[in-house]
Amino acid sequence: MQSNCVKVPKREGESTRKMLAESEVIDYRLKIKSDEQFVYIPLIPGISKDILSKIDPTLALAECDFEENERTRSVEEILGFAPSFEVIGDIAVVAEEYDVKVGEAIMEVHKNVRTVLVPTTPVVGEFRIRHYRVLCGEDRTTTVYREHGFIYEMDLNKVYFSPRLSTERKRITDQVTDMELVLDMFAGVGPFAIPISKRAMYTIAVDKNPDAVEYLKKNIALNKASRIEAVNMDARDIQTPQPPDRIIMNLPHTAHEFLDVAFRLIATGGIIHYYDIRPETEIFDAVIKMVRQKASYSGCLIDIVNKRIVRSYSPHEYNIVLDIRVVGKQD
């Protein structure tokens, strides 16, 4: 079966697969294939060169013949439609109200899932959390999630967490050096801050949600991280012992409200990783213009050293990241 695909050298195959999986563009009906030099990853219909370049500008659209997958029935095949859900540890979280049969189908296909949760509220409040009820399975909202060798405990009724940023978190962690002071302004339970703390000189992990900070402290201990401080504080009130060399701003809906704080704190030459949600029709231009204006108001000269789509957020919306280097600051 002919399909558009991404062709990458074998050494880049697994990292590219994970990135494309998180962006939700792999066509799982078809088998990924390889030859002596390359891996070929099939893409879902409708992925354009433009969208692919925004996921990773080094990727090129190709075309190849693929075999169809022979596998156990998918959730979609069992139900006749594809429910939206994600798996966090041993809990599956569906995106909307579904019949209990949906939860049972998820548990049939995903043998590690012990509980299926359905949201009873939208994302609400200053801590941007959701409340859930059990659709089927064990009566709990607590789970343990593993990623890149790290362990995170959490209660999904009390904290926000997305498993779909795994590749992005590793991308940032891999950039950190042992000479850096790193500030995570919206740390949650620690999926950016804890891996970074193993590489950085020191990491300051801040969150306004006291429940998130309690789990952050527990996860720091679980992962035997030492060069890290967990702080329960509003990001606007952050003070650091010296200007941070790197700042993480992973609060996509409202991070723009805190750019002035980040520009005030960051060291000259430092990097800010800024996350946002953007419509398909206007992914980068308007947000870059806004960031440049806020940098100018703060007396900072900046260079956008990287821009990319991190993942699909909703139909026609994308979670994006800008890597912003501050090349100069007014005294």
Q: Tell me: the pLDDT tens digits for 219-232?
A: 999 999 999 999 99
Instruction: Give the Å distances, CA to CA, from 4 to 45, 65, 178.
Output: 7, 9, 41
Separation of alpha carbons 192 and 174, rounded Å: 11
Chain mean position to CA 240: 25
Res 293 pLDDT > 90: yes
Tens digit of each residue's pLDDT (9 = 90 or more) over 183-216: 999 999 999 999 999 999 999 999 999 999 999 9
Contact indicator for 194, 138 with CB cutoff of 8 Å:
no
**How many separate helices (H) and strands (E) can be counted in the chain?**
9, 17
Res 83 pLDDT > 90: yes
Q: pLDDT band at residue 127, thresholds of 50, 70 and 90?
A: confident
Q: Please, which residues bridge with residue 152 across strands?
A: 145
Q: Using alpha carbons only, what angle is made at residue 246 by residues 242 and 214, rounded to the nearest 5 degrees?
A: 85
Residue 71 has what pLDDT? Answer: 66
Res 315 pLDDT > 90: no
Q: In the chain, pLDDT over 70 holds for what percent of residues?
A: 99
Res 152 pLDDT > 70: yes
Tens digit of each residue's pLDDT (9 = 90 or more) over 262-277: 999 999 999 999 999 9
Please choose, from the candidates 193, 190, 171, 191, the residue with its C-alpha nearest in 3D space to the C-alpha of residue 182: 193
Residue 51 has what pLDDT? Answer: 87
Q: Please, which residues bridge with residue 56 across strands?
A: none
In this structure, which amino acid lies at residue 220? I
Residue 202 has what pLDDT? Answer: 98
Structural domains of the chain in order of their starting residue, each with its CATH number:
2-65 (3.30.70.2580), 75-140 (3.30.300.110), 163-329 (3.40.50.150)
Residue 69 has what pLDDT? Answer: 83
Res 156 pLDDT > 90: yes
Q: In the chain, pLDDT over 90 holds for what percent of residues?
A: 84
Residue 48 has what pLDDT? Answer: 86
Which of 24-28, 133-137, 193-197, 235-239 is least confident?
24-28
pTM over the 0.85 mark: no
> How does DSSP assign 167-183, residue by residue?
HHHHHHHTT--TT-EEE
Contact indicator for 265, 243 with CB cutoff of 8 Å:
yes
Q: Give phi and psi for 253, each to the nearest 5.
A: -80, -25
Res 1 pLDDT > 90: no
Separation of alpha carbons 252 and 319, rounded Å: 7
Mean pLDDT of the chain: 94
pLDDT, average across residues 273-290: 95
Please choose, from the candidates 70, 77, 3, 74, the residue with its C-alpha nearest in 3D space to the C-alpha of residue 40: 3
Tens digit of each residue's pLDDT (9 = 90 or more) over 15-56: 999 889 888 889 988 999 999 999 999 999 988 888 898 899
Contact indicator for 127, 160 with CB cutoff of 8 Å:
yes
Each as own residue / partner, the long-range contacts of residues 218-223 (CB below 8 Å, 24 or more positions apart, any chain) are: 218/153, 219/150, 219/151, 219/152, 219/153, 219/189, 219/190, 219/194, 220/190, 220/194, 222/151, 222/152, 222/153, 223/150, 223/151, 223/190, 223/194
Element (H, E) at 4: strand 2-9
Which of 57-61, 71-75, 85-89, 189-193 is least confident?
71-75
